[in-house]
Amino acid sequence: MKVSDFFGRRVLDKKANEIGKVADMVIKPKEGIITTIIISTSDFGLTRKDIEIETADIDEVGDYLLLNVEKAELEVRGEIALKKEKIRLDIKK
């Protein structure tokens, strides 16, 4: 499977709730390994939030990316990452 085959693919959590679509990936070029996948969530263009997952969060790849975590857990991770980023920016000031 080529990396380009992932872009736009729908992502489902472990309860088969749709989270969003694959928007981007972080790849280690020398090793050819995907380290992080960026999922874009949106509500008909009104709001957009990106969620980062690691390859360990993926259970199956087919017509969809099926994750082994729930959407709520991913949202909590996202909030924690935002808080860490804010603290890091505050420290730099």
The pLDDT tens digits of the residues spanning 54-91 come to 989 999 998 999 999 998 888 787 777 777 777 777 77
pTM: 0.75
Nearest CA-CA partner of 27 in 49, 41, 6, 50: 6
The amino acid that residue 48 corresponds to is: R
Residue 64's nearest CA partner among 14, 25, 10 is 10
User: Identity (one letter) of the amino acid at 74?
Assistant: L
How far apart (Å, rounded) are the C-alpha atoms in residues 58 and 35? 12
- Would you state the torsion angle of the CA atoms of residues 69, 70, 76, 79, taken in this order, to the nearest 10 degrees? 90
Model pLDDT for residues 20-49, shown as the tens digit of each residue: 999 999 888 898 888 899 888 875 556 667
State residue 84's pLDDT score: 73
* pLDDT band at 1; cut points 50, 70, 90: low
pLDDT band at residue 11 using 50, 70 and 90 as cut-offs: very high
Can you list the domains of the chain with their CATH numbers?
A: 3-92 (2.30.30.240)
Radius of gyration of the chain (CA): 14
